[in-house]
């Protein structure tokens, strides 16, 4: 699932998001996530989360529902997620507004200068436009497709289940690598890891490994995903999912897949502990 945040005044961002949803909808399923006011009286509700289903679909609310939790729910079922009202999200962004052209007295202004500065995007800016009308949905879609998708173990499992060979499969084996705090009791705790990849080469190598493993008898689909950027303690880093006829080839292939990914794919890791930080390959 590709995630995109639209940053700007509420009216402009919502308008751009709706136009983008129409264009992206030509290629897949689209979900929009809007941030609403935080002063609503919700503390008297007895449940921690509430789901509602009607003829138009379903909605969900919760007292401590994070953006990450929502994206995890959406990733297995949607191809795109559009965020409105989340300038702090470290995801690809479309920024709408020009502080130099703002008339603070005009209600039609995209952003006041203060609003613009406060909503400066946290993620990579794919398009920066002075007004909503200047955003080209086709260009945004092209640029978004070039970014890394948001994947979870559940979204990758859902992907292999859609395979044409799924009726012949009796097993799905998975591997999830995560950030551990320490390897030995005396180690300084790891707070986070940061990963960088050799752009283009890493993706090509993972695709080649998957294709080679899929040539095995009884192996139908192999998908891999390695996150980049900052990943904190306890979070997931890498996934390997194998769709196979039987458990034997599924287990064997998932183990070979993660071993080959670690050995052959150019991804570099920096470790940050409570006392120091260092690139792991420089310590080898």
pLDDT of residue 183: 78
Measured at the CA of 106, the angle between CA 100 and CA 108, to 5 degrees, comes to: 90
* Section 171-183 average pLDDT: 92
Q: Which domains does the chain have, with CATH numbers?
A: 2-145 (3.40.50.300), 153-283 (3.90.1170.40)
CB 194 within 8 Å of CB 281: no
CB 110 within 8 Å of CB 132: yes
- Which contiguous run of DSSP H or E holds residue 145? helix 137-145
Task: Give pLDDT tens digits for 32-41.
Answer: 998 876 544 4
Least confident of 56-65, 82-91, 178-187: 56-65
CB 110 within 8 Å of CB 12: yes
What count of other Cβ atoms lies within 10 Å of the Cβ of residue 206? 23
Alpha carbons 88 and 242: distance in angstroms, whole number: 35
DSSP string for residues in 224-263: EEE--EEEETT-EEEEEEEEESSHHHHHHHHHHHHHHHHH
Q: Is the pLDDT of residue 242 over 90?
A: yes
Cα–Cα distances in angstroms (integers) from residue 269 to residues 124, 153, 266, in the given order:
21, 21, 10
Task: Give pLDDT tens digits for 39-62.
Answer: 444 455 666 677 777 776 777 777
Task: Give pLDDT tens digits for 135-146.
Answer: 999 999 999 999
CB 226 within 8 Å of CB 195: yes
Q: Which one has a higher pLDDT value, 136 or 64?
A: 136
What count of other Cβ atoms lies within 10 Å of the Cβ of residue 36? 9
The secondary structure of residue 168, as a DSSP letter, is G
What count of other Cβ atoms lies within 10 Å of the Cβ of residue 64? 7
pLDDT of residue 208: 97
Task: Give pLDDT tens digits for 149-162.
Answer: 999 999 999 999 99
Alpha carbons 227 and 149: distance in angstroms, whole number: 9
């Amino acid at each position: 699932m590709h995630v995109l945040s639209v940053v700007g005044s509420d009216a402009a961002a919502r308008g751009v998001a709706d136009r983008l949803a129409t264009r992206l909808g030509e290629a897949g399923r689209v979900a929009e996530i809007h941030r609403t006011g935080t002063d609503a009286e919700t503390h008297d509700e007895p449940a921690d989360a509430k789901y509602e289903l009607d003829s138009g679909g379903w909605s969900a609310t919760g007292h401590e529902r994070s953006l990450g939790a929502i994206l995890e729910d959406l990733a297995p079922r949607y191809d795109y997620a559009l965020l409105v009202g989340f300038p702090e999200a470290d995801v690809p962004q479309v920024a709408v507004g020009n502080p130099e052209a703002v008339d603070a007295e005009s209600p039609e202004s995209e952003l006041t200068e203060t609003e613009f500065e406060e909503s400066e995007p946290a993620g990579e800016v794919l398009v920066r436009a002075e007004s909503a009308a200047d955003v080209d949905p086709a260009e945004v879609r092209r640029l978004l497709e070039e970014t890394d998708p948001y994947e979870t173990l559940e979204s990758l499992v859902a992907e292999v289940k859609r395979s044409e060979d799924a009726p012949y499969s009796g097993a799905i084996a998975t591997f999830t690598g995560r950030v551990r705090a320490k390897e030995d009791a005396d180690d300084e705790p790891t707070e986070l890891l940061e990963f960088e990849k050799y752009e283009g080469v890493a993706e090509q190598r993972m695709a080649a490994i998957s294709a080679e493993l899929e040539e095995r008898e009884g192996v139908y689909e192999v998908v891999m995903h390695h996150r980049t950027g900052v990943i904190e303690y306890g979070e997931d880093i890498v996934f390997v999912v194998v769709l196979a006829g039987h458990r034997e080839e599924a287990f064997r292939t998932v183990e070979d897949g993660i071993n080959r990914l670690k050995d052959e794919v150019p991804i570099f890791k920096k470790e940050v502990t409570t006392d120091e930080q260092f690139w792991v390959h420089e310590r080898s």
